[in-house]
Amino acid sequence: MVTTQAVFDVEETRGVLVVSPLGDAAGYRDIDIAREVEAVLAKIDKMSPPGVVADLGRANYFGSSMIGAVSAFEVRVRERGGAFAACLVSDDMQQVLRVMKLDTRWPMFDTRKAAVKFVRKRLK
């Protein structure tokens, strides 16, 4: 029997959806990643307007699959007129995001609290 492996921890904090990848996608099956990305996107679609924080503090580095997943969340949030931020991004990951020019699309904060506060303020 094949079991589904959790890829993200998802919780709501003060009206903001906080999505935390549990590690890099290399340790997960593509089907599990796709299933969980769709589930998070469905949660974003139910928010009006959506406010999302990506907490990247559980790993020093994320590969292209996980960056793509978080990018999909950010794009959906922006399409729906919401606010997005990232937090606890390692120095190594910040370098990668700068090269990919995602640092201009993902406001980054040192703490989850600061990121949630930023998103809440942008939603007002």
- As a whole number, mean pLDDT of residues 101-113 equals 97
Specify if 16 maps to a domain: yes
CATH number of the domain to which 37 belongs:
3.30.750.24
Give the DSSP per-residue string, 34-78.
HHHHHHHHHHHHHSSS-EEEEE-TT-S---HHHHHHHHHHHHHHH
Q: Quick check: is 3 in a domain? A: no
Model confidence pLDDT, tens digit, residues 66-100: 899 999 999 999 999 999 999 999 999 999 999 99
pLDDT of residue 3: 54
Range of the domain at 113: 8-123
